[in-house]
Structure 1
């Protein structure tokens, strides 16, 4: 039983030391980072969806984006650059999609594309 208590004490001590180091380095664990990006209104109508889908299909044929060995995030970044270079620049260029990232900027991108057509 005393061995279990020692392990628990070491675990708690490591947490306290880690928290102290993070505080000293200016890192606050309790504050979540806020992600900001330009937002464009997008109304999901059949016309808008068809238009966007047509652009997506056309860019899917682009030889630069077809590379089967590329990661999914790279393909999506390539497709979006092809669909609208200016919208991509506004919304994704400063922080490109990473593998496994949930794309919370997609509707804003679609809104930008539709507005700039």
Structure 2
């Protein structure tokens, strides 16, 4: 599971993005089914949408004036970033790390493209 959606008359509407998890059901893959949502953790932002772009842009703007320490790869540690920027981006890093476990990625090209925003992940 990665999202909760309403499906009606061939239309799909995203209700909320959820933290990826494996759901064991006795139904064919991609068959819609009802699920107890208490097992799900809703993501605070849609990491595929414009909210993520805005958050990442705020971080990019911060990095332009940042003069503090960096790791060996040039990344800024999360504890050096204001909480209102760092907290959502730490959640985003965790989302993509979990999501990568469910991607059909036989040559691992998707995982190679994933770069955590912060060095302390």
TM-score computed with the length of structure 1 as normaliser: 0.24
Q: Over alpha carbons, which structure has the higher Rg?
A: 1
Larger RCO of the pair (alpha carbons < 8 Å, separation 6+): 1
More strand by percentage: 2
TM-score computed with the length of structure 2 as normaliser: 0.24
